[in-house]
Structure 1
């Protein structure tokens, strides 16, 4: 999913122009002012269309139903009247059992699969709040009600409890993310040096088709991999990086794989993939590699003729060489989207590599050390205005979250010397909020969309965030609807 909201370029409808009077905002429609003050904009969408939008939003984040019912009366009535919306359940330590029962009540008797996300830390007695979950999952199974997806984002203690009490390998979509703030601080004896999944041979279960792991070692020999379409292995360490032999064997038996991500964020890990026979992944559309391991050697062991999206992050191997490897295997794949972050590249050579992919439409660069890309880009465009004319997005993000849109050049000007000026988007926040937004931008641009916003939070920061939330209240204002008031 392309992060379109990161770009301010929008086609403007000639019949609809923004206008503002002294009294209220309005629209200029075909030359006439139509005052929108006092109108319920939510009612502009019929319930049939709004419910479709609600379900798409709930798929993106399972807590959306909880938001929809408090925004306005029309949205609340629409959400409560559409029972399937409540099959998306997002639970944290704030009364999870009570919330689960309320969602189940709103869902009614519909025998449709549930999608459950659990964000929990086993601290301050919170673990006792989750004793209901194994019983509820067993009850669903006994009533022949399936679970479409199960996402667990937790610390080590909660994850250890989940492994003992939940059948985490029996769902079509499984996401198991162990808090990275705890992974590096393992107690010496209470927990294993690494968690592995699955915990028993589950090759007879052919339902799983999507796997997303973080801080967990995947044990391929106990998984039926033929039906896997999505495999994400985030933030591995020396303990959780998959065994190369098992990895290559598994990839060879994944004919339907469409998305693959593998990250390693510890000291350099050298692996010689040249000893393996090339693996052809005919259906792979998105490939994401990160960290200080032999990414280029791995790329040489793959045949990916239909790759649409490629992400390379914090690479020890040269990212430009990775692009050359992908393009050199016969006919270049129809690459449309490229993201490079936290790496060192030569700007001019980077632009030359982009010409190897005539289908590319979106390029995102985050925190890259190099000669300013905008300078090299301006030079190329001045010589050839049609250079990389297929691009629709070309955004360069700095470490602080500020962004420069290279396709919005205003022409030669004083702001950038002879290279013209660009639209710059600055982040007008600081501290924790700036860090949070930078993480969100990074994850979106790098297409780490499976990681929920609660991920990357240590237990201490989670409790601090809850403390800040406790000082915030919503109060009703007679003219402006719901209004946020902070103590």
Structure 2
């Protein structure tokens, strides 16, 4: 929309030839970049997308709404939907869509959960229904990433019935510790002492990263 406003200014102002040229160059460059990557065959795009998806849990969701071709490629590849980022933007709907796209396939699943809010989050129907769905899941979470405070972590642990997963990454913003970072690869399953352990008869997760801001 910004370039459209600049184009209008350029059209209305006879002295703004430079602005018009800038707008045209911007459009040409963008169109050129899109045509360059879209000239690649699907086989190469799959490799590019797969590499990008490894770096961010929300990448698949972004690729699926970029353009029609990319959407058709991504939504028909269940392996691209092994990870998901759930935050403040429609987490329940996003989770349901994610499980639908995975279908009957069983890729290693990585869930990143961001809770940036106070106690009001705990009574929001969408969050309650999301955690009910997570608690009722029939799959194992391979890797669980949590971003929030200790109160939210305890609430999530309770609502999910314990963290049934192999790996946990905790990124807490409590500022309870003098150390700004605690990170270790632990050989034995463990759990930070200030927080409740998973319920009995569940998989004991390994804390691979535990950080406090």
| 1:175 matched residue in structure 2 | 169
Q: Which residue pairs with 1:136 in the alignment? A: 133
Unmatched segments (≥5 aa) in structure 2: 1-23, 178-191
Instruction: Find the aligned partners of 2:160 and 2:40 in 1 and give their Cα distance.
Output: 41
Give the equivalent residue in structure 1 for 2:181: none
The Cα offsets for residues 77-123 of structure 1, whole Å up to 9 and x where unpaired, read as 21122122122110101111011111122222223332110011233
Q: Does the 8 Å CA contact 1:83/1:108 hold for their aligned counterparts?
A: yes
Aligned to 2:88, the other structure's residue is in SS state coil
Preserved CA contact (<8 Å) 2:85 2:111? yes
CA drift of 1:197 comes to 4.9
Which of 60, 80, 92 is the matching residue for 1:85?
80
Does 1:118 pair with 2:113?
yes
Aligned length: 170
CA distance in structure 2 between the partners assigned to 1:209 and 1:49 by the alignment: 36
Q: 5+ residue gaps in structure 1?
A: 1-22, 26-35, 185-193, 216-234, 236-487
CA–CA separation in structure 2 for the residues paired with 1:176 and 1:59? 19
**TM-score, scaled to structure 1:** 0.31
Deviation per residue, 1:344-368 (Å, 9 max, x gap): xxxxxxxxxxxxxxxxxxxxxxxxx
Does residue 59 in structure 1 map to residue 54 in structure 2?
yes
Task: Point out the structure with the larger strand share.
Answer: 1
CA displacement, residues 295-341 of structure 1 (integer Å, 9 cap, x when unaligned)? xxxxxxxxxxxxxxxxxxxxxxxxxxxxxxxxxxxxxxxxxxxxxxx
Match of 1:196 among 194, 197, 206: 194
Corresponding residue for 1:385? Answer: none
More helix by share: 2
- The residue that corresponds to 1:107 in the other structure is 102
8 Å contact from structure 2 (residues 114, 146) kept in 1: yes
**Which digits, 9 at most, give the CA deviation of each residue in 1:272-301, with x for residues without a partner?**
xxxxxxxxxxxxxxxxxxxxxxxxxxxxxx
Larger RCO: Structure 1 or Structure 2 (Cα < 8 Å, ≥ 6 residues apart)? 2
CA contact (8 A) 2:140 2:164 kept: no
Q: Is residue 165 from structure 1 mapped to residue 159 from structure 2 by the alignment?
A: yes
Within 5 Å, give how 1:329-340 maps onto structure 2. Answer: none
Residue number in structure 2 paired with 1:155: 149
Q: Does 1:70 align with 2:65?
A: yes
Distance verdict in 2 for CA 1:171–1:76, change over 3 Å: same
Counterpart in the other structure of 1:94: 89
Q: What's 1:44 paired with? A: 39
Residue 135 of structure 2 contacts residue 161 of structure 2 at CA under 8 Å; is this kept in 1?
Answer: no
Between the aligned partners of 1:124 and 1:166, the Cα distance in structure 2 is: 17
TM-score (norm 2): 0.64
Residue 146 of structure 1 is matched in structure 2 by 140
Q: 1:197 to 1:74 in 2, by over 3 A?
A: same
CA–CA separation in structure 2 for the residues paired with 1:96 and 1:89 = 10
Conserved in 2, the CA contact under 8 Å of 1:90 and 1:116?
A: yes
Structure-1 separation of matches of 2:198 and 2:34: 58
